A and B are shown apart, each in its own frame.
Chain A
Amino acid sequence: MTLRAKMAAGLAMATALVFAGSAQAEPNIDPNPDVTELVINGEIPITIRAPAPDHLDGALPEIYSGWLYRDASTREMEMDDFENPAMPFVDAGIEAWNAVDGSEGKSCADCHGAIEEGMAGVRAVMPKVNEAGALWSMEDYINDCRVNRMGAEAYDWDKQPMKNITAAIAAQSRGMPVNVAIDGAAAPYWEQGREMYYTRYGKLQLSCASCHQENNNNFIRGDHLSQGQINGFPVYRLKQSALVTIHNRFYGCVRDTQAESFAKGGDELRALELYVASRGNGLSVEGPSVRP
C-alpha cells in the first residue's frame, strides 16, 4: 500500500468507527440539522445559522452559533429567561446601570437613558474603533464612562461588576445581527486579529483555526468543538457556575495549547476579539447564553 492509501484507509476507518450508527457526519456540516429554531421567551427569534461572511472566503461554508452544538437540556435553558442562570446577573447589571456612583454624582442612566433604549444595538457592533482611532471593547467604553464622566473607579475586566454590566448591555441587543466593522480604521486591527487566529501557538502548536475551523463538529475528548463564535457572550458556563467573558475564554483556549497566553484586556485580545466577532457577522447577538 502506498502511504497515501494507508492514510486514506486509516481515515476512512476512523470515520466508519466513530460515526457508525450516530447522527454525526463529516466536519463542517450543520451540527444539528433537526434543530431549526431558537426563540427566547417565545418572542425574540435568534439567527443561529447564517451564510458565512464574504471575508471568510469559503473557510467555513456556513456559520453556526455555539448553541447548536450543545445538548437539548442546555439549549432549552436559553429559551426562557426564567431558566437562564445568567439572568440574575443581568438584573444586577441593570441595577448598577441605574445607580449613582463616583464623584460626579451620576449614573449610566443619567447620560444614556433607560438601558433598553440607550444600549439597544451596542453589543452588535463591538469591538469598534473609538474617536481617537484606538480599537476598544465594550469594557473599555464602560470604564471610560466610569472614570472620565462619572469620576468612579474602573471595573476590573474579568470581575463580577464588569460581567454584570456587559451581560445587561448584551441582553439589550438580543436578536439583532452581529455587524462589526472591519474596514477603514478597523482594518489594521482586523488584520492583526486574523493573523493571530491562524497562528499555531504553544507547545501543542495549535491555532484557533486548528480546533474551531478545521475540526468544528468533531470531538476533542468529550468536548464537541463549535466554531468558537462570540455572539453568545458573556456566556454562563454550567461547569464553572459563572459568567465568562470573551477575553477569559480566549485566554483559556490559548493557555490550553501550552502557550504563554495573552493578557485579558490587552491589545492582542482586543484585535482577536474584532476578528472573531467578524466571523460571526450575520448571527444574532445571543448573550448572555448558556454553555456546558
Chain B
Amino acid sequence: MRKLFVLCTAGMVMLPSVLAAETAPGDVVFGDLGAVEESLTGTAGNAEAGLEVATTRSLGNCLACHVAEGWAHMPLPGNIGPALTSVAHRYTEAELRGILINSKHMFEGTVMPSFYNVDDIIRPGDGYTGKAATSVEPLLSAQQIEDLLALLQTFDEPEEE
C-alpha cells in the first residue's frame, strides 16, 4: 500500500514533463508585442548548451550579427544587430523567448531570422546546400530555444549610460 502510494506520487510529479509535449511552431501563442510566456518544452534551458547554439555557424550563428560579452572569446562578431551584453535588463523572459522564436512580431521587418518558425518561407533550402528542402523544419529545436533563453538571461551586465 505504502509502496503504491510512493509510486503514485512519483507518477504525479513526473506527469507534467511527460505530458508537456513540445509546442510546435504553429501552436506558439504570442502575447502583446510578440512575447511568449510559456516554455516550449517545460524543461529549463541550459545556458552552456545555449552558448554552443549561439556561436555555431550551422545553428543559431547569433554572433554573425551580434556582439556580446558572453561570447567575447570568439573572433569577429558582426554588428548588424544590437549588442546583447545587457539584454536581460531590457527584456523579460517572455519577451526574450518571443524574440528568439520569431522576432518579427516585435521588430517589424527585422533582418533577424525567425528561429522557431516554418511559415512564409520562400524557396526553403536544405541547409546551406543550395538544394530544395524536402521538408521545412524550424532553424532551431524547441529545446535549443530554451537553452538560448537561459544564456540570454545571464547577459545581465549593467547597462552603460
Contacts and interface: CB of A to CB of B under 8 A. Distances in A.
Contact of A220 (B64, B83, B85, B121): B64
Contact of A11 (B33, B82, B86): B82
A6 B90 contact: yes
B122 A219 contact: no
Contact of B79 (A9, A202, A218, A252): A218
B160 A203 contact: no
Contact of A14 (B83, B122, B127): B83
A221 to B, nearest CB: 4
Contact of B130 (A200, A206, A261): A261
A46 B1 CA distance: 91
Contacts, number: 114
Contact of B87 (A10, A201, A206): A10
A200 B82 CA distance: 21
Interface in A181-225: 199-206, 210-211, 214-215, 218-223
B64 A13 contact: no
Contact of A202 (B63, B90, B124): B124
Contacts of A200: 122
Interface residues of A, number: 40
Interface stretch (B14-22, B36-44, B105-113, B143-151): B105-113
User: Taking chain B's interface residues, is the majority helix, strand, or loop, or is none over half, making it mixed?
Assistant: loop
Contacts of B107: 7
B121 to A, nearest CB: 6
Given A3-B106, A254-B130, A203 B113 contact: yes
B26 interface: no
Interface string B139-161: 10000000000000000000110
Contacts of B87: 10
A201 B113 CA distance: 11
Interface residues of B, number: 44
Contacts of B5: none
B123 A260 contact: yes
A257 B120 CA distance: 14
B78 interface: yes
A3 B103 CA distance: 13
B133 interface: yes
A16 B91 contact: no
B127 to A, nearest CB: 6
Interface of A: 1, 3, 6-7, 9-11, 13-14, 16-18, 199-206, 210-211, 214-215, 218-223, 251-252, 254-261
